[in-house]
Amino acid sequence: MCDRGERLAPRAAAVLLAGALLSAAGQERTSVWDGVYTEAQAERGRVAYAMSCASCHADDLRGRSTAPSLIEESFAFLWDDMSLGDLFERTRTRMPSDRPGSLSGPAYADILAFIAQKNGYPPGPKELGDDLAVLKGIRITAKPR
């Protein structure tokens, strides 16, 4: 005969698993429309962008012949349903093109905040970090879902 603890252990494990799955599912639903950066961070990103990105992507983020636009339809076409983690990794490993990876993780996150702001995504109360696992859970979507 089994005791009560042996009967409850599988139930407790199932409840914990279900909670973890719901939590993970909630992370996947986070999007750029959920206020994932702050205004102050976007301002820092504007300064970093001007110093490290504007020479190729233009002051207005519309891009030049050698660099794609980082706003509006062009940006949405390239990045819709991707994650901020994907954009962060692409930016961190390839940009600036003459010195990839030369900025700090927080500086790249600030630049993403600036790009988000210029695309009309709303700010929020918490800064966007440079933790790739967290960034992978934030979807870029052209419209709120």
Domain ranges of the chain: 1-30, 31-136
User: 64 pairs with which residues across the strands?
Assistant: 67
Token representation of residue 74: 């062009």
Give CA angle at 128 (34, 107), nearest 5°.
145
Q: What is the mean pLDDT of residues 36-44?
A: 98
- The CATH number that domain 31-136 falls under is 1.10.760.10
Is the pLDDT at 1 greater than 70? The verdict is no
Token representation of residue 80: 């819709």
> How crowded is residue 50: how many other Cβ atoms within 10 Å of its Cβ?
12
Mean pLDDT in the chain? 86
Q: What is the mean pLDDT of residues 102-119?
A: 98
Higher pLDDT, 126 or 13: 126
| Whole-number Å distance between alpha carbons of 45 and 57 | 14
C-beta separation of 104 from 110 below 8 A: no
Instruction: Give DSSP secondary structure letters for 59-105.
Output: TTS--BTTB---SHHHHHHHHTT-BHHHHHHHHHHH-STTSTT-S-H
Kindly state the helix (H) or strand (E) to which residue 118 belongs, with its residue range: helix 105-118
Work out the pLDDT band at 107, boundaries 50, 70, 90: very high
pTM of the model: 0.80
